[in-house]
Structure 1
């Protein structure tokens, strides 16, 4: 894109050079930020007309509104601290967000919404442990101020370009959803029907399974898995359980997520021992199934571990089975504990009868699924990488335009 003919130092680190005809000023001279209002109890999560914003996410709906028309929302707390939204209609803004009120009609709301996005306000958080940002911190930052015509032109240009990028991201996200749905269907078909399409079938007698190959068994889980009760060993490494990665070392988890995890310092004597190949049951198993442990180590006593104790139970086969949607729904049907916020128990696990193919078939199904899902996962990873690049380009484009590093089409210099 074309650049302006002359630049000058803005004197502000995040802005850098700006076109010679632009100014800079403290954000408090452009807008004031005020906290939203607590959502009335009788409106929380109620179906209504307006979305509810707070903490950077939609938390419910309300049929009242405390904001009308266009405004900017800056998240105040939590993981989304510093994120911004431009709201073009009515909404309820909770006390967990800040509302921008502009001081003069000469300031284009959409342009300054993009400015706030470019500022990476999350970096201004007052604490790393519990991210939070105050109105005064934001208002004391400086912003570039082009003339009103340029503000309008930049906002119009970015509206068009970011909409196209957002549409591309949405298309890729939808393709990932379809791949995940296909992945789930392939796994479900293989672990409950086998790999031989011509195999004679029989009714399993279990609703969540349906028909299974005639030579397969359906067994009570206690005949296949035992409850591990070992206390943590002195040399055990700390493990982390997650639906995303299964059970892996805490160190590996932090590397993958680029974040720190709170280590257990006191009460480590009540931690439990886990062997590679164990399955971990947690409260979240209601949502994501049982987690497979890829490593040996120790884990919180809040978890329950089961392990295959017969030579006819192949962990890799059940690793896939325990993550199928039908199995997860079967777990949910065993209790109403999920609604009470209590943990899933071993007794819930034992209520869900399991298919038992011959060992050689379990091994064949596991190998087939490992190979097949690896190829799907590779494609998903490529698409996720594309989304990251698109979002990085979006942020870069916004930053370059609002700071004048590039001149948007239609802008004329004085």
Structure 2
């Protein structure tokens, strides 16, 4: 599908857009949007269990690159009055994520709400169409990511957002552009939502398979005993329950703070650098040196901070570790690493599910040492691994396929948004040619 553009363009001083239509303006955000702000996390009230109220409190995890019609958390009037940094923003405000893995995620509020400190809020105004500016934030996401600063967790701040320059057509034209995008993008969003729901169902099925196998075993009608832990319930009578501090050791990279993206780009080579990210199998980059050398039995790589904390995968070979991750290795021969990979996936997910969504997950050595896992005999461990490999492979393939389709749909969506909000295509002539 090909769309028509405008009749004339000028090269303008916008870092993320090479040209815009000649009749459009360029405006810095603060010239047309007033009252830009943020929020906070009422830590004391959270600890005291006093935040379950009626006032919506939006976190970056709620942001969906779409209209936001509900959020997970509510605060009380008392909390709102107690914390001066909390403010109720009106419906039709734009919320932009500033921290970590969610940088640049954006939503258009469809209800009045407060936010935490990781969100920047642009209140609505009669100076512009909120939906057009919302779409423009999506168009400039890669540029926003390039502005992020920080070590363990990259961030942008309100000052950075206030300094942004926007292509600025007339308000009636903004209206036409966002209506055009709504028409084209809503069907794409429906397809994306369909595949996201499928992924959620498949992941739930996978988690149930893993948990049942590592806590109940594969043999029916066996004698059971109470594990002593509510999370695990009953386990086979002949299995042991062991503390991770007795079974396993953890280690972080000794040079993790030095292995930045800049360092890696200057020292490219064949050896992977693992980090706290979960994309690309956890590999941030590859360099010409390594810190660890592990045989084919492998070790477990675990993320330690952020939304993906406690994600695990087995790795081997020569590699280094950047920040926000650690490796887990065995102290003895009582557990196969292949069994531990499945076991830790299941147990860590149970532990993570206990963390409230408004708290940033972290995985400390002290947390690790307190966790206990079921340890069956080695033969049963092998049988469990064989069973799970067979059952989970097709599930993982379906998840992989759905994620690939989502990526293609997101690319199509992003391209349309960029072209429309920078004037490369016009809503006045949007018929097929």
**TM-score, normalised by the number of residues in structure 1:** 0.68
1:51 is the counterpart of 2:76: no
Aligned-residue offset at 1:171: 1.9
1:309 is the counterpart of 2:322: no
Instruction: Name the structure 1 match of 2:402.
Output: 383
Secondary structure, in 3 states, of the residue corresponding to 2:427?
A: coil
Deviations along 1:309-331, one digit per CA (max 9) or x if unpaired, are 36xx54434443343359956xx
Distance 1:404 1:353, change over 3 A: closer
Q: Is the 8 A contact 1:283 1:344 kept in 2?
A: no
Q: Distance in 2 between matches of 1:72 and 1:232?
A: 40
Q: Distance in 2 between matches of 1:181 and 1:381?
A: 15
Secondary structure, in 3 states, of the residue corresponding to 2:367?
A: coil
Aligned-residue offset at 1:8: 1.9
1:184 is the counterpart of 2:207: yes
Instruction: Name the structure 2 match of 1:35.
Output: 37
Distance 1:12 1:175, change over 3 A: same
1:157 is the counterpart of 2:176: no
Secondary structure, in 3 states, of the residue corresponding to 2:201?
A: helix
Q: Distance in 2 between matches of 1:210 and 1:12?
A: 65
Q: Paired residue for 2:90, among 68, 74, 82?
A: 68
Secondary structure, in 3 states, of the residue corresponding to 1:217?
A: coil
Aligned-residue offset at 1:90: 0.5
Distance 1:174 1:325, change over 3 A: farther
Distance 1:55 1:370, change over 3 A: closer
Aligned-residue offset at 1:175: 1.0
Q: Distance in 2 between matches of 1:388 and 1:283?
A: 23
Q: Is the 8 A contact 2:12 2:20 kept in 1?
A: no
Aligned length: 370
- Aligned residues: CA RMSD: 4.9
Q: Is the 8 A contact 1:56 1:84 kept in 2?
A: no
Distance 1:90 1:160, change over 3 A: farther
Instruction: Name the structure 2 match of 1:355.
Output: 376
Q: Is the 8 A contact 2:294 2:316 kept in 1?
A: no
Secondary structure, in 3 states, of the residue corresponding to 1:111?
A: helix
1:397 is the counterpart of 2:416: yes
Distance 1:112 1:166, change over 3 A: same
Aligned-residue offset at 1:231: 12
Alignment of 1:330-349 (within 5 A): 343-344=366-367, 346=369, 348=370
Q: Paired residue for 2:136, among 105, 115, 135?
A: 115
Larger Rg belongs to: 1
Aligned-residue offset at 1:173: 1.5
Alignment of 1:156-305 (within 5 A): 156-191=179-214, 201-204=222-225, 206=227, 208=232, 210=234, 212=236, 217-219=238-240, 221=242, 251=273, 256-257=281-282, 259=284, 277=297, 288=310, 292=314, 294-295=316-317, 305=329
